[in-house]
Amino acid sequence: MGNLLYCVLKKRRRIALENLNIAFGGEISADECAQICRSSFRQIGKTAIEFFRFPQLTFDNIWEEVTVEGKEHLIGALDQGKGDIVFLPHSWNWELLSLVYGALIPDRAKAIAFPLKNRYLDTLVSQYRERLSLKLITRRRAVRETLRALKENYAVGFFADQNAGREGVFVDFFGKPASAVRGPATLALKTGAPLLFSMDIRQPDDRHHVLITPAIDLERSGDLERDVQTNTAHLLEILEKYIRQYPDQWLWTHNRWKTQPDPKWQMRREVRTSHTKPSI
């Protein structure tokens, strides 16, 4: 299926190759970029097949396919009583995380979901995601419901690694400005809820290893906008580290660098960069 998608989805293949060139241009060859691209499409195919097998997974047998590293970080953060904010990237199989968290902390996990354009497909996907106790928060009610969930000591997942448009905050990602979602860092700074990073890593035998990091030590200068940018940049630095380690396990088909900052932002960035360079 992945090989078929690679051949048929020409636009997405082009976007993936452009993204890979932005991220790794000059570091690896064009042939290596193409190999990563094709492998990432195979990962999409595997993820699709696994998704339609979700009804076979239960609270008990899911652990035959999934191992978790860092559950103690999640539980320890929840023990503070302020809820958890979990930054989730689109790494393979990201859809599986809804079942993993639902089984890991029953009735204490929620995630923000963006509706799909096809109403019937959206209903089906939502039902699959909510099979093991996790509940979805719709985009329309995201702020109010997320604040309520944190107050009630839920862990709330944000898939926040994609382009955020003009509403996002610009940070460097693989050395190029990228618009990033403000939500996780903003809510963590305003509510005091611990902010964690978590992702799924597919293993060579196609089992899954879910990583949960310790709560991130947030920088607080008193300037909210600056702090949101600083801590969001840190999240993307963590993500970049894992993408470099597992380059075919991220969703390259999304136009990640589509939104670029205005020239004034770029000038300020260059000034900051020049001030941090050591003198000769």
For strands 109-113 and 84-88, give the pairing.
unpaired
What's the rounded Cα separation, in Å, for the pair 38 and 204? 16
The structure's pTM equals 0.91
What is the share, in percent, of the chain residues with pLDDT greater than 90? 86
What's the rounded Cα separation, in Å, for the pair 234 and 211? 17
The string of pLDDT tens digits covering residues 75-111 is 999 999 999 999 999 998 999 999 999 999 999 999 9
Domain count, the chain: 1
Domain enclosing residue 72, as ranges: 2-276
- Average pLDDT for 5-23: 96
What integer best gives the mean pLDDT of the chain?
92
* 233 close to 140: Cβ distance less than 8 angstroms: no
In the structure, what pLDDT confidence band is assigned to residue 266 with cuts at 50, 70 and 90? Answer: low
Residue 276 in this model has a pLDDT that exceeds 70: no
Q: Of the ranges 2-16, 114-128, 130-144, which is most confident?
A: 2-16
In the structure, what pLDDT confidence band is assigned to residue 27 with cuts at 50, 70 and 90? Answer: very high
Which residue do the tokens 């190029």 mark?
Answer: 176
The closest of 185, 194, 190, 244 to 215, measured between CA atoms, is 194
Q: Return the pLDDT at 12.
A: 96
Q: Which residues contact 248 (CB under 8 A, 6 or more apart)?
A: 36, 39, 40, 42, 43
